[in-house]
Amino acid sequence: MEIHEISKKIAEYKAEGKKLFTTSSFQTHSIPILHILSEIDHSIPVYFINTGYLFPETVSFRDEVAAKLGLTIVDLKPNTPKYLQREPNGKLMFTTDPDHCCYINKTQPMESVLASYDVWINGVRGDQSAVRKAMKVEQPAPFDSIRFHPMLDWDNRKIFAYIKEHNLPRHPLDAKGYISIGCEPCTRKMDPDMQEREARWFGLNKVECGLHTDLVK
C-alpha cells in the first residue's frame, strides 16, 4: 500500500470507532511503518514484546526510535516467569522446545492485547516467508479483531529506500551481519545463501514464532 492509502484506511477505522494498536520488534526493517504511523497518529500504542531474551542493542534501539518518532511504547512481558520456563531436567525451554518457548514469551502475552483492541496494524511483508506471502492486507484475527497488513507488498528495496529518504536510524547489529533479529539465543548472523528469516532458529526448520500463524484466521 502507498502511504496515502494507509492513512485513509486508518482514518476509516477510527471513524468507525475502532481501537488500533501496532507491534514492533524494532529491527531496521520495522522502522518505516513506525515512521509512517508517527506521521499519521503517533498516539497509536506500539507494543514491544520484551521476552527477556532480546539483545541489549534491540532494547536501546527501541528507546532511540521511540524518542525520535515520539512513539507511545508499551512494554509487554510474558506471564510466565523465567524460572518456570524450564523442562523437568532444568534446561530452559528454548533449548528443547522453541515452539512452546515462543508461545509463552510472545504469542500468549499478545492474546490479551488482541482481546482489548479492534485492529492490529502489523508490518509483515510478503517477501519474508511463504506464510506471510499467503496473507491478505486485511485478515480476521482471534477475539473478533482485524489484522491490517499495510506493508504486505513492500520489499527490502522499498524499505531501505524509505529509510534512506527519511534518514531513519538502523539497528546497531546490522553492521555486524544480523539481518533478522529476534531473541539472542535463537538468532545468528545471516549467511549469503540464506533467506531473511532463516537466520532465526537456525537448523530447526522454523521461521515463525507463532504471532503470524496462531494469531490469525
pLDDT confidence band for 206 (50 / 70 / 90): confident
Q: Is 33 a domain residue?
A: yes
Tally the domains of the chain.
Answer: 1
Please tell me the total number of residues recorded for the chain in this structure: 217
209 assigned to active site: yes
Q: Across all residues in the chain, what is the average pLDDT?
A: 91
**pLDDT tens digits, one per residue of 76-131:** 999 998 888 888 888 888 888 888 989 999 999 999 999 999 999 999 999 888 88
CATH assignment at residue 117: 3.40.50.620
Overall average pLDDT of the 181-207 stretch = 74
| Catalytic-role residue among 101, 183, 186, 209 | 209
pLDDT at 44: 97
Q: Is 97 a domain residue?
A: yes
pLDDT at 199: 67
Asked if the model's pLDDT at residue 193 lies above 70, the reply is no
Q: Is 215 a domain residue?
A: no
**pLDDT tens digits, one per residue of 4-42:** 999 999 999 999 999 999 999 999 999 999 999 999 999
Give the 3-state secondary structure of residue 130: helix
pLDDT at 166: 98
Asked if the model's pLDDT at residue 198 lies above 70, the reply is no
Q: Are 128 and 199 in contact (CB under 8 A)?
A: no
Q: Are 10 and 20 in contact (CB under 8 A)?
A: yes
Q: Is 212 a domain residue?
A: no
Q: Is 143 a domain residue?
A: yes
With vertex at residue 130, the alpha carbon angle to CA 195 and CA 188, rounded to the nearest 5 degrees, is 30
Q: Is 185 a domain residue?
A: yes
**pLDDT tens digits, one per residue of 96-107:** 888 898 999 999
Q: Is 211 a domain residue?
A: no
Q: Residue 35 belongs to what domain range? A: 3-199
Overall average pLDDT of the 157-186 stretch = 93
